[in-house]
């Protein structure tokens, strides 16, 4: 189901990007209801729409039929949050979110492979942690920017995905009593993601019962403006090999920064050996 949904979302995004004639800084879509192409429970879709409608980064929405799918289009502006997020000296990447639907599909992957907790590192507005909570997983979001954490706290009125305002490299993961977690790392490898991931991996590897029980998700890129990693994996191959991780799968999903690009963002899934 995960691969099926990812493929259909990519096709839907491509159709939407061709027909979209608005002028908003960011835009994304969520199907209105369960369908053959998007067999998502209406309860889950309702919560995803609620996350968007109550999220202050979106200022408008409207209905649009895209291909065979009736959708709600959400338009927004992240400038204020982007600018604030780059002011922190230890921030590894500015705020630029994945799509809500992409976060949901990523969380579905975590559930499919039996992870019990999702930890959204560099979480922005907390959408991946929120989606994990929609699916019944324990979830935590760790974000260094206090303004974004305050935004997240507004959204915990829908579901409590437990946000923390902290530097993820120095966070006390023992305090979460994790058993079988998967970590979603925010930020491309070439934009500070390597430093962030290395720091978090070191912390988790220092906890014996988590070293072999943890999964990892890295947001990659195939953009030619970045120097390619000699081990590939969309920029993460060297880190995966260096930290003795086992590559599992790549799923490409739409993000804000790839809306006008022909390629989506590859999410690299790996596990600790």
User: How high is the mean pLDDT in each 10-residue block of the chain (273 residues)?
Assistant: 95 97 95 97 97 97 97 94 59 79 97 97 96 98 94 97 96 96 91 91 93 94 81 93 96 94 95 87
* pLDDT at res. 245: 96
pTM for this one?
0.95
pLDDT of residue 8: 98
**Cβ contact 81:148 at 8 Å:** yes
38 burial via Cβ count (<10 Å: 0-12, 13-18, 19+):
buried
Cβ atoms of 115 and 182 closer than 8 Å: yes
At residue 32, the pLDDT reads 97
For the sheet containing 69-76, what is the strand order?
A: 26-31, 69-76, 58-66
What's the longest Cα–Cα distance across the chain?
52
Structure confidence at residue 159 (pLDDT) = 97
Measured CA to CA, the distance from residue 207 to residue 119 in angstroms comes to: 16
User: According to the model, what pLDDT value does residue 87 have?
Assistant: 63
Beta bridge partners of 63: 72
User: How far is it, in rounded angstroms, from Cα 266 to Cα 263?
Assistant: 9
- pLDDT at position 92 is 56
| The residue to which tokens 């120095």 are assigned | 170
The pLDDT, as a whole number, for residue 93 is 66
Q: How far apart are the first and last CA of the chain?
A: 26
- Beta-carbon contacts of residue 7 (< 8 Å; ≥ 6 apart): none
């Amino acid at each position: 189901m995960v691969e099926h949904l990812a493929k259909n979302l990519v096709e839907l995004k491509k159709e939407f990007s061709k027909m979209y004639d608005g002028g908003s800084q960011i835009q994304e879509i969520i199907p209105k209801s369960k369908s053959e192409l998007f067999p998502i429970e209406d309860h889950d879709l309702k919560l995803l729409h609620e996350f968007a409608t109550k999220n202050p980064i979106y200022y408008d929405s409207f209905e649009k039929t895209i291909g065979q799918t009736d959708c709600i289009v959400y338009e927004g502006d992240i400038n204020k949050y982007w600018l604030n997020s780059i002011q922190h000296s230890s921030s590894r990447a500015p705020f630029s979110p994945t799509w809500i639907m992409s976060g949901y599909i990523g969380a579905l992957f975590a559930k499919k492979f039996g992870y019990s907790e999702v930890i959204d590192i560099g979480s922005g507005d907390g959408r991946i942690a929120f989606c994990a909570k929609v699916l019944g997983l324990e979830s935590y979001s760790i974000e260094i920017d206090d303004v974004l954490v305050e935004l997240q706290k507004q959204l915990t009125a829908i579901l409590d995905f437990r946000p923390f305002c902290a530097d993820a490299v120095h966070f006390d993961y023992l305090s979460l009593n994790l058993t079988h977690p998967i970590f979603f790392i925010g930020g491309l490898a070439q934009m500070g993601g390597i430093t962030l991931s290395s720091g978090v991996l070191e912390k988790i590897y220092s906890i014996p019962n988590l070293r072999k029980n943890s999964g990892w998700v890295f947001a990659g890129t195939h953009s030619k403006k970045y120097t390619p990693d000699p081990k590939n994996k969309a920029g993460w191959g060297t880190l995966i090999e260096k930290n003795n991780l086992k590559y599992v799968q790549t799923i490409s999903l739409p993000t804000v920064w790839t809306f006008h690009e022909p390629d989506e963002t590859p999410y690299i899934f790996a596990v600790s050996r």
